[in-house]
Structures are given as structure tokens and as C-alpha cells.
Structure 1
Amino acid sequence: MPTSSASTTDSAKSASGGVQSLERAFDLLERMADAGGEVGLSELSVSSGLPLPTIHRLMRTLVACGYVRQQANRRYALGPRLIRLGESASRLLGTWARPYLARLVDETGETANMALLDGDEIVYVAQVPSRHSMRMFTEVGRRVLPHSTGVGKALLADFPDHEVRALLGRTGMPAATEKTIVTPEGFLAALEDVRQSGYAVDDNEQEIGVRCLAVCVPDSPTAAAISISGPAGRVTEAATERIVPVLQQVARELSEALAGSGIANA
């Protein structure tokens, strides 16, 4: 009996039930992002385990669609069409998060935010403001450097030290206030504190008079963190003990909601 060739082509279904060529293409895009956005075919072959002809065929398709572009040096870089997809996905993630941020405001009384790690920067994608007349406000879409923010610390805490040092080398560590951490060693020590305690603190480091508490959203489809921020006189050490368990619980529930929606597994 002749054997169908469909099972041996890139369009064959994978063991997970998906289309293998799609899975491979998205895996290559993820590997390019992890490598800083630009790679050579041989690097992709080594990291993915795929043969060069397969990678070359997939990259040709991604280039034709605008999701990858070939540089003058023949290396491949992430393409501009991904920007629109990323912006739409960020807005959707922010929309999903808003009810959970509203709960944080109800239970803590302080402004709640959601932020993502986008390249080397933090971008805020959702906010629900406090009802207090004195409250913190961060524009959705605002970009900041990670080293002076609670969400930045929360998001980078699981990164290897050498990757953190490389990021800080690219961004620099400008002081937003006199309390900002401005050395790699100091920032790495702060990340170790995050790992030990399970939450991150911005103590007057982005803005004098403001304290922020942040935690990661576990298993988020992209690196994400939620936080509350308020006047240092309200977000005290005593308040921290009450607020952090609420932050952690809401982060877990948001993670479960994203998984249930199919976003986290998309």
C-alpha cells in the first residue's frame, strides 16, 4: 500500500495536533526575539535543531509575508509587520487585565498597573486609578527603563545575571531620583531580594514620594507584571504586608484567566 507523503512534509500535523510548519515558524520567531531580533541561519539551526534547508524555506516564507527581513549582511531580523500584531496583542492583554486591576484597586485602595517587557523597556498596557484624590497616574503606552521600576525588577528577577547585565549595558542606568539603583551589582542584589521575597519594590526610585509593589503574572504569554503604586505615606511597610498577598493572588487568577481564554497557549 502506498504511503501518503503528507505525513512527511512540513504541513503535516505535529504530535500536539497542530500544523508542524506553523509551529516551527513561530518557534523560529521566538528564537529570533530571544537572540535580540537578528540572527544567522546557522545560529537558528544550532538552537532549534532543524536542518538548514528547512529553516531556509521557512524564513523565505516569513520574509515574503513581512514578518522577517533579510539584512545586507545576509542575517535575518524581525520584520515590521510584527509591530502591528504586538501592539494589538498588548491592547488585548490590557483589556483582559482591567477587571483584575479593578479588584486590586478595590482591595488595596491604590492605583493598579499592568506592564510588559518589550525588548529592553517596560511598557504599561493597562491601568485602573485609585479613588483617592492623591493618587499615582501612569499613561498607558508609557515606556520606562526596567532598573528604576518595581515591575522591571519583577520581570527581570528570573533572568540569568549575564542577560540582566547585557540589558543594563544596552540601556544604561540613568538616575530618575536620588534613590534609583545605578550600578549593575546593586540591581542584581535587588533582583535576589525579589526572588527571596516573591515581590518587587520601587521605593522612591522612579519618583520621590511614591512606592510601588509588583509581582509577575505566572505563565503569561509574554513577560508581564502587575503592580500597585501610591504615596509612600500610604504604601508603608505595614501596608506592604497586607497588599502583597492580594497582588500575588490576583496575579495567579489573571494567569488562570489568560490560560482559560486560550491566549497563553496561542
Structure 2
Amino acid sequence: MEYYFQFRGRSPGRRAVAESGVQSVDRAIDLLEILTDRGGDAGLSELAATSGLPLPTIHRLMRTLVARGYARQLPSRRYTLGPRVVRLGEAAGRQLGAGTGPHLERIARELGETANLAMLDREMAVYIAQAASTHSMRMFTEVGRRVHCHCTGVGKMILAQLPDEEVSAVAAHTGLPPETDRSITDQTALLAELAAIRERGYAVDDGEQEIGVRCFAVAVPGAPTPTALSVSGPAARVTFDFAEQAVPVLHEVAAEVGRHIGGQED
């Protein structure tokens, strides 16, 4: 469970990493992960309580991270993630999505609507690649954008790949904030929706992220972390009849993307 969304402290496996590597680097990464899990903001006492490290050690490591731009210290003396973390994240996202362009372009070409590829980034979904529709009225989501999973097609498809107990922990942490009046805001309703998604093999965002927009999404098999592929556009064009054509194409392309990400392409 901790892999996906929550830092649980230093397990024996993590200690083994520190013992076989560089302990200060391991500890610095722990602190960055704690900051991320706490929404990007934490004080020294919170970092100490979660990491189990002595305050002088934390202070020394955070001072180094601040000097290198990976953390910032606010006027309140609390710490937050720094701008260089954003740069790393953007570069990692581009690398993960690298080479998937032709696959997504096939969706945009055959279905005429925007294709998106997104993966789980702790409790959020992050878009890592896109191919835009050729229509003048089209959907656009910038690569690198992070969105809540419960109110997006890709996000619900990602959650459907997790056990219910992990989904419940994500829901408890994010609080299921509504983006529109159609968003799911109840954990029981979310789990029921995910069960339906698993049964039919695809997810639907019917105006839950943005009114007037509809999205269909499928899982990417073989991806190293839960990943989803979607097609989205104005609800007037992306109808439920449209899904009969779109979903088979999405499944076929998702298999291609999974082989690409897993390094199994010919």
C-alpha cells in the first residue's frame, strides 16, 4: 500500500537500502517523500515524528535541500517542496511518455478526439502524454498536470486497478473533493463505481471533472504502476454510442502502449 500513496516510515527493506548505499541520500529522499505525502508542506517536528530521525539530522539535511533548491523554508519556518523537484517531475513524466506519441496519435486520428495517457502518482493521477484532436473545439490537458482520481476517467480507471482497501485509504486522504455537481463524493459510491468499471472494462467521466466533457478510459496492461489511456471531448460528440467504437480501439492501443512501456515491442 505505501508504494502508491503513503509514507509509512523506515521498513527493514528501506534500512537495507541505506546500509548498502549512502545513508544521508536515503534520509534526504525520505524527507522529500514525507513533504510530498503531507501535501508539500511540513514542520521540523512533523518530519521528525514521521521519519524517526533526530532534529539536528533533519535540520542539516533540510538545509542542504534548501540550498540546492529541492526544498524551501517558508517565513513560518515550515518546509515545502522546492522548484527543482518540479523540474525533475516534469522530466520524469516526459521520459515515461516518450515514444507513446504514435500510439496516442492513432487514437486522435481514428476517433477524432483527444487521447491522454496518465499514471498513478501517489494518490493523484498525472498526465504523461497527449495527442490532440483536430477539431477546433477540443479538450486540452497539459502534460504534467495532476488531478484527483475519483472524478476523472483515467483516475477512476487507475483506482479500479487497486484493491478496495487502498482505494479507501486514498479516499480518506484526499477527501473526495467535488470538481462539479456530478463528481462522486461518497466513498461507498466510489467503490461501487469501481466495481462496475472492473466488470465492464472501462471507466467513464461524464461531466465529473468539467461540465460538458465526457471521457472513456481503459487500463494499460503491463505498466509498472497503474496507468490508464483515455479519449475525451465535448459530450455532444463523445456520446455513449461513440463508446462502442472507441473502447475497442482504446483497448488495442493500450496493449501496444503497455508493451512499449514494458520494453516488449518488436
Q: Per the alignment, do residues 68 and 211 of structure 1 end up closer, same or farther by CA in structure 2, a change over 3 Å counting?
A: closer
What do the CA deviations read for 1:124-154 (whole angstroms, capped 9, x no partner)?
Answer: 44222467x7995424356765443201213
* Gap runs ≥5 in structure 2: 1-16
Counterpart of 1:67 in structure 2: which amino acid?
Y
Q: Quick check: 2:107–2:250 contact (8 Å CA) kept in 1?
A: no
Q: Per the alignment, do residues 248 and 47 of structure 1 end up closer, same or farther by CA in structure 2, a change over 3 Å counting?
A: farther
Counterpart of 2:239? Answer: 232
Q: Per the alignment, do residues 108 and 249 of structure 1 end up closer, same or farther by CA in structure 2, a change over 3 Å counting?
A: farther
Counterpart of 2:218? Answer: 214
Q: TM-score, normalised by structure 2?
A: 0.66
After the TM superposition, which of the residue ranges 148-157 and 100-109 deviates more from structure 2? 100-109
User: Matched residues in 2 for 1:68 and 1:163: separation?
Assistant: 25
Of the candidates 255, 259, 262, which is equivalent to residue 249 of structure 1?
A: 255
Post-superposition offset of 1:199:
4.0
Confirm or deny that 1:63 pairs with 2:63: no
Q: Quick check: 2:220–2:229 contact (8 Å CA) kept in 1?
A: yes
User: Matched residues in 2 for 1:174 and 1:204: separation?
Assistant: 7
Post-superposition offset of 1:166:
4.1
Of the candidates 13, 22, 25, which is equivalent to residue 22 of structure 1?
A: 25
Confirm or deny that 1:78 pairs with 2:57: no
* Gap runs ≥5 in structure 1: 1-12, 261-266
Q: Quick check: 2:126–2:147 contact (8 Å CA) kept in 1?
A: yes
Post-superposition offset of 1:195:
5.1
Q: Per the alignment, do residues 111 and 81 of structure 1 end up closer, same or farther by CA in structure 2, a change over 3 Å counting?
A: closer
Counterpart of 2:90? Answer: 87
Counterpart of 1:212 in structure 2: which amino acid?
F
Q: Quick check: 1:105–1:112 contact (8 Å CA) kept in 2?
A: yes
Q: TM-score, normalised by structure 1?
A: 0.66
Post-superposition offset of 1:65:
1.6
Post-superposition offset of 1:71:
3.4
Secondary structure of 1:213's match?
strand
After the TM superposition, which of the residue ranges 77-86 and 142-151 deviates more from structure 2? 142-151
Post-superposition offset of 1:29:
0.9
Counterpart of 2:252 in structure 1: which amino acid?
V
User: Matched residues in 2 for 1:59 and 1:36: separation?
Assistant: 17
Q: Quick check: 2:218–2:251 contact (8 Å CA) kept in 1?
A: no
Counterpart of 1:214 in structure 2: which amino acid?
V
Confirm or deny that 1:160 pairs with 2:167: yes
Post-superposition offset of 1:183:
3.0
Counterpart of 2:6? Answer: none
What do the CA deviations read for 1:152-178 (whole angstroms, capped 9, x no partner)?
Answer: 213444343243244245x43423xxx
Counterpart of 1:184? Answer: 186
Counterpart of 2:170 in structure 1: which amino acid?
E
Post-superposition offset of 1:38:
1.7
Q: Per the alignment, do residues 106 and 227 of structure 1 end up closer, same or farther by CA in structure 2, a change over 3 Å counting?
A: same
Percent of residue pairs bearing the same amino acid type:
43
Q: Per the alignment, do residues 76 and 248 of structure 1 end up closer, same or farther by CA in structure 2, a change over 3 Å counting?
A: same
The aligned length equals: 237
Q: Which has the larger radius of gyration?
A: 1
Q: Per the alignment, do residues 172 and 245 of structure 1 end up closer, same or farther by CA in structure 2, a change over 3 Å counting?
A: closer
Instruction: Indicate the RMSD between aligned Cα atoms, in angstroms.
Output: 4.0
Counterpart of 2:261 in structure 1: which amino acid?
S
Counterpart of 2:8? Answer: none
Q: Quick check: 2:69–2:83 contact (8 Å CA) kept in 1?
A: yes
Counterpart of 1:235 in structure 2: which amino acid?
F
Q: Quick check: 2:104–2:116 contact (8 Å CA) kept in 1?
A: yes
User: Matched residues in 2 for 1:245 and 1:138: separation?
Assistant: 22
User: Matched residues in 2 for 1:209 and 1:55: separation?
Assistant: 46
Q: Quick check: 1:116–1:225 contact (8 Å CA) kept in 2?
A: yes
What do the CA deviations read for 1:175-223 (whole angstroms, capped 9, x no partner)?
Answer: 3xxxx33432433432343455564222454454744123267324xx7
Q: Quick check: 1:38–1:76 contact (8 Å CA) kept in 2?
A: yes
Counterpart of 1:7? Answer: none
Secondary structure of 2:100's match?
helix
Q: Per the alignment, do residues 35 and 139 of structure 1 end up closer, same or farther by CA in structure 2, a change over 3 Å counting?
A: closer
